[in-house]
Amino acid sequence: MKKKILILGSTGSIGNNTCSVIREFNKDFEIAGISTNSKIDILQKQIEEFNPKIVHIYSKEALNNFKNTKNKINIYEGSIAEFVRDTDFDILVNALTGYVGFLPTIEAIKKGKTIALANKETLVIGGDIINELLKKYNANLIPIDSEHSAIFQILRHFKDAQISKVIITASGGPFFKTPKEELKNVTVEMALKHPTWKMGGKITIDSATMMNKGFEVIEAHHLFNLDYDKIETIIHPQSLIHSMVEFVDGEIYAQIGKNDMRLPIQHALTYPEIINTPFEKLKLHEHSEINFYKMDFDKFIMLKLAYECGKKGGLYPCILNAANEICVYSFLDKKIGFTDIFDIVHKICDREINIPLTIENIIKTDREIREETLKEIVVL
């Protein structure tokens, strides 16, 4: 029997790659439902090819435009979390960007399903809660992010080995060689030119500021139950080694593969099986250099801030994420400069809070921090 896949964010980079994997493994999987924010042209093509039973469209304008087409597919008009709650599926692929991915993940967990997770913010803002719910409802979470998929794949072969540390690689983004003092001159167009990965706008900017790597550090803490001093980040411009694990005997094991997101997606959908891939495999002889460089925390201060907020725990990562989201989208809209992101997010995170971590407090804090961050941007 085919496994039913529900894809949130099907028209984005991860969503499209998931469709590509399912196209190749159509005897094993079928798409039960898909969602988009506003890309109804891509959604329409996916409907025609994969014949899902139901769709969700987040943007009201896009939803109204879609209703004016002659499409007869069922449209779910509740929230995206309710869409997950009320749809029948076996595996949820959460490819949403930002805070909006948090509550849908919780709904999938409550149904005892498998979650193939590409939404970083789910674990960043509520990792402790997610881990508790996974145990309570006997649900499974498989990482899609190439870095965490790499660690996950290594550890499945060394289940009883004692870890010294994990090493998360970073390409360095477009400004790896740019002096810190020149970052104030970075434009949107410059920041969107990632050297190795083709991604959506928000995550590409996060990669340029290195906040994306900071989120991955917090994710790794929750995914693998590691203290932050056991999570190292290192620059690896070629993006061939996606992560490494060092064990207490000093041996380091690396997961190496093409920078093709279809590979970790295939791994997540087919886990625990290891199945021959139809996608191109890495040819080592085509790569004459593999380089590593020490992370510059003085330059990439957003990564340093992520470590600090992660160590504080509680609602601090939620504050970090909310402020960062508002700033990144404001930068993309050319309302603030590149280094303004650093300054505003740092200012917003500089506070004392003693509020317990609950779902309700995450929702409330996220809303309040977004409003506060927008006020900071208006002042500039």
Each residue's pLDDT tens digit, 302-315: 999 999 999 999 99
pLDDT digits (tens, 9 = 90+) for 14-26: 999 999 999 999 9
- Residue 245, pLDDT > 90, answer yes
SS3 247: strand
Please, which pLDDT band fits residue 197 given cuts at 50, 70 and 90? low
- Domain 313-380, CATH: 1.10.1740.10
Torsion region of 250: left, alpha or beta (phi above 0 gives left; psi -120 to 50 gives alpha): left
- Domain 3-143, CATH: 3.40.50.720
Please, which pLDDT band fits residue 72 given cuts at 50, 70 and 90? confident
Q: What is the share, in percent, of the chain residues with pLDDT greater than 70?
A: 99
Angle formed at CA 360 by CA 366 and CA 231, multiple of 5 degrees: 60
- Residue 175, pLDDT > 90, answer yes
- Residue 79 Cα distances to 71, 85, 153, angstroms: 21, 10, 34
Angstrom distance (rounded) from CA 85 to CA 73? 19
Structure confidence at residue 68 (pLDDT): 87
Which two three-digit tokens encode residue 33? 């439902």
| Element containing residue 80 per DSSP (H, E) | helix 80-86
- Residue 377, pLDDT > 90, answer yes
The DSSP symbol for 282 reads P
Nearest to 186 by CA among 204, 165, 164, 198: 204
Q: Which residues pair with 116 in a beta bridge?
A: 93, 142
Nearest to 306 by CA among 164, 206, 200: 206
SS3 31: strand
Provide CB contacts within 8 A for 195, sequence distance 6+. Answer: 171, 172, 173, 174, 176, 237
Domain borders along the chain are 3-143, 146-305, 313-380
200 or 35: whose pLDDT is higher? Answer: 35
- Residue 195, pLDDT > 80, answer no
Q: Is the pTM of this model over 0.75?
A: yes
- Contact in structure between 233 and 303 (CB atoms under 8 Å): yes
